[in-house]
Structure 1
Amino acid sequence: MASHINYTCTLLTILLIISIPSEAQLSSKFYDSTCPSALTTIRTAIRTAISRERRMAASLIRLHFHDCFVRGCDASILLNDSSTITSEKNALPNLNSVRGYEVIDNAKSQVEKICPGVVSCADILAVAARDASFYVGGPSWTVKLGRRDSKTASLSSANSQLPGFGDSLNTLISLFKAKGLSARDMVALSGSHTIGQAQCFTFRTRIYNNASDINAGFATTRRRKCPASGGNANLAPLDLVTPNSFDNNYFKNLIQKKGLLASDQVLFSGGSTDSIVDEYSKNPTKFKSDFAAAMIKMGDISPLTGSKGQIRKLCYAVN
């Protein structure tokens, strides 16, 4: 009798262990039966937005990144202020800087028309980042799906866990390590700065401090659109050479001391990541492959799955 009970308990334990991962697992086929047109619908919305404004590609990749680094890839960054929520949009790394919210809202609206209440905003963010990369010449990758949306946001986490434009190499490595990402992942993901633009206030100190880690001619050129005072929101491309193409020129810039942000240049400043930057500057195929792998890895940060969270009807508000 005792052996029968033990066998039954063991069997139940095994079944329980088997059932837990299956609920929490993301899958590229998650919507194959519930919303087979979801990915095509999202791709159309993203391509339309980027065709109108090329810069939006960089903004959408960054939006997914800023979402995943705060409490995981749960679309918490999309939530507006409410009586119960203090929006992450107000955090210093996001305020008047992160863009593309309306593009995600539009994609969500299009998907809701064909499959109401099925596709999460968190998954739309992940797919949008992939489609944005590919549209401007970057790599594509298979997006794992099945994330659910957060019912809360965390302003304090956004302020403390997102990398800053003046961070040291050690700080950057630590921030990424805390999210399960390696130094190589960090360098590869930083390569998204091969597209997009930065505001004057984020690089003013760097171009005016006459330090040894910046090319003098490059600094002079950048000062034309970024005065010593004022013009904080003036924009400048992160990569002057090919600002609208996803390539490996970003890494070539770093080797020439032409990184726009201090947090860019520290990747090639005599530290532990110099060899990775050098490798990517010579091998664009390896960079793109590593970038895609790092984006997949980033998309796996603490997703809400199963019965956790919800599928928001509107990305900017809880149901």
Structure 2
Amino acid sequence: MDTTLSITNNSMIQVSEFILLGFPGIHEWQHWLSLPLSLLYLLALGANLLILITIYRESSLHQPMYQFLGVLAIVDIGLATTIIPKILAIFWFDNKAISLSACFAQIYAIHTFMCMESGIFLCMAVDRYVAICYPLRYPTIVTEAFVIKFTLSMILRNGLLTIPVPVLAAQRHYCSKNEIDHCLCSNLGVTSLACDDITTNKFYQLFLAWVMVGSDMGLVFASYALIIRSVLRLKSAEATSKALSTCSSHVILILFFYTAIVVVSVTHLARRRFPLVPILLNVLHSIIPPALNPMVYALRTQELRVGFQRLLGLGDTESRK
């Protein structure tokens, strides 16, 4: 076993780096996965940057809904960049070693961006709730200050509550194994190598999932339950269709995001029998949403499509048609 060890001040042997082995069971040909992962990463970067530039340049898109979408694009870029470059380095250059500090930093970044994505979905759900249930009060409630305050509150909440995850992981003693059968530093994957008790780590991981992602998911679905109730009271079929169409893109992404989280959590329980499945799903859940989100909004939101056409120089062509 390739193990790098050092002696700490308390005379306990401590590993100085971890070795990321990649996907369990397919180590010999896992490098072939680098092609779809690199394409998804390029798509995520390009599409989200395109959304950010379009929102910035188009004054008609300087609205709360698109401002939240811009924040989501930044979060998606951060999440994908936290994970995929290291995976590609493992596949292409056999760069499997990662220092303890870099590993703990990756743990923090993954948790922060994942919780931030959940928080932004909540912000967007509140925006749609106010727009549909209180349309006359929408301009006075959902202002630019509202977007800034809500976004900052999500950043502070996620940034502060996720700090204990890497801190608790760093306090454990890693004195024997340092090989992680994974292609990224997951909290439980790393702490499972510790020689001391990790009950606190497991408890805080569960606490974080319920308090942050769980509460966000509950509030998001509560918001849409109220939206559906309000929409069903509309007498005009046209008004009902218009109200639902404004939420369709958001609903698709929310269902995919939270369904994937549930699936990853359930498959993690069966990891001993199917070790590859939860790890592969974990990686895909970190790269598919960043690549999928811009495409869904681009296909289903006319204002964004028009903005893309103008940015890419297709606006005149479309108008001539």
What band does the TM-score fall into relative to the shorter chain? under 0.3
TM-score, scaled to structure 1: 0.23
The structure in which a higher percent of residues are helix is: 2
